[in-house]
Amino acid sequence: MAFAPGRVNLIGEHVDYCGLPVLPAALSHGVALAFAARRDERVRCLTTEAGFDEVDFTLGQTPPAAGFGRYLAAAVAGVGAGRWTPASRAGLDGAIASDLPVAAGLSSSSAVVIAGALALLALRGRLTPGESLPREDAMRLAHDLAEAEHGVAIQGGAMDQSVCLGAAPGHALHIAFEPARWTPVPVDSGRFRFLAAYSGRRADKGGAAGAIFDERVRQAREALRVAREFLPHADSYPALVTAHPLPELLAAADGLPAPLAGRFRHVVSEAGRTSAAAKHLEDGDATAFGETLDASHESLRRDYAVSTPDLDELVRAARDAGALGARLTGAGLGGSAVILASPDREAAIRARLTERYYLPRGIAAPRGTHLLDATPSGPAALY
């Protein structure tokens, strides 16, 4: 049985595909995949989630175009990359159970990919129950699975796969991409209480939300291309934010055409907020961290245009309930918000929001991604 957690991104939104650092954390909720080897090359899987048909495809053939089967196909493709090629190509029979809401911006899709990849690695002798991948292997696998997801879903970065594979109990994960580096950052529960709340509005990446997401990826890259004409050191966003102070970059944004100006302004300012937030977390400054969340939401709403009335209302409700800060998390366009509460306000905020919204148990999964022998107690043993 394989388990992969969902994630909530604390800050660093829509910048991983620009090569810039992010600061997510794993959730206690996730996806469990019970599996057994087959003697042929078929992948057959069902799920307890309503509205999804059983998946049935053969390795090497055209993968499913819709439903959760396309994420299992991404797992097959990612593990099929050169460094993971096994001697055996056996398929599997599987069953998925999840306590993550679907299309809620909490990375249920990447959790399916990660769980599927662990199952395949186990069946092919690359991983045993109780064993963890070495850090370098986990980082390579995160990259390979992110690339594989591009073939079946949105053109995102590797944040979700990285935090699913690299999560540590009681920590957020500061993820850099150029070069790849994972740095666990302790979350002091005596000062920081992060909540995730689902707005109830699906952010379906297989539909309109996915098309808008991919448009934002193209716009961010086009904005960099245009900025390269008048800003030195603009070969990449990481090089750009290293070479130029933020006020200079914000001034340069004014010279870009709409909507590229807003896209550029968000990316470079979010890079600064992510760096500042990581320092606030290390320093235990919850008030300052909350202010960065508020600023991030405003930038995502105004400059990146990925918030929705439902998300804006959820963020307002959290702040009215006494949150130190709140913002949309994940791609936006529906989905969830991340909320920072002080320890003395957490219970009141949770009680106030639970009247209208779904709130997962919390962040910093106690075990993160793992593999174990199946037992008669079934998937509940994973939680």
DSSP 11-73: E-TT-GGGT--BEEEEEEEEEEEEEEE-SSSEEEEEESSTT-PPEEEETTSPPPSSSTHHHHH
Cα(2)–Cα(380) distance, integer angstroms: 12
| Residues forming a β-bridge with 97 | 32
Site of tokens 């995502």: 300
| Residues forming a β-bridge with 365 | none
Site of tokens 């057994």: 36
Structure-block tokens of residue 309 = 């009335």
Residues 105, 110, 111, 117: what is their CA dihedral angle, to the nearest 10 degrees? 180
Catalytic pick among 160, 204, 303, 312 = 160
Q: CB within 8 A of 317, min separation 6: which ones?
A: 352, 353, 356, 357
Cα(95)–Cα(92) distance, integer angstroms: 10
Cα(30)–Cα(177) distance, integer angstroms: 24
Measure Cα distances from 162 to 145, 207, 308 in Å.
10, 25, 27
Nearest to 280 by CA among 298, 266, 268, 294: 294
Measure Cα distances from 217 to 156, 210, 267 in Å.
8, 11, 11
Structure-block tokens of residue 288 = 């300052």
Cis before residue 343, ω within 30 degrees of 0?
A: no
Q: Residue type at 50?
A: A
Q: CB within 8 A of 52, min separation 6: which ones?
A: 67, 68
Helix (H) or strand (E) holding 96: strand 92-98
Cα(346)–Cα(340) distance, integer angstroms: 9
Our answer to whether residue 283 is catalytic in this structure is: no
Residue positions annotated with a catalytic role: 160
